Amino acid sequence: MTWEETEHHLREQIRAQPRGFQTALAERLGISQPAVAQFVGGGKSIPTTHLSAILDMLGLELGVHPRGAQEGQP
């Protein structure tokens, strides 16, 4: 998965959250809600420095595996 595909997936996941999630995410990240809206809307790239907190709030984890390997297989 490319970074662009990862960002797209994260944006979709954030948009699917209930009302108030982006505000809570902004507070957790220490940024403004409009700044969150910019990267959720695709106007800006998702800062990699915020990746861990975003994944945590979404209940997701990031996996790394060799190219060509399918998830769950060596």
HEC-encoded secondary structure of 19-35: CCHHHHHHHHHCCCHHH
pTM: 0.82
Cβ atoms of 58 and 10 within 8 Å: the answer is yes
- What CA–CA distance (Å, rounded) separates 3 from 11? 12
Look at residue 43 in the predicted model and tell me its pLDDT: 87
| CB contact set of 39 (below 8 Å; sequence gap of 6+) | 11, 45, 46, 47
Better-predicted residue by pLDDT, 2 or 27: 27
pLDDT over 90 percentage in the chain: 76
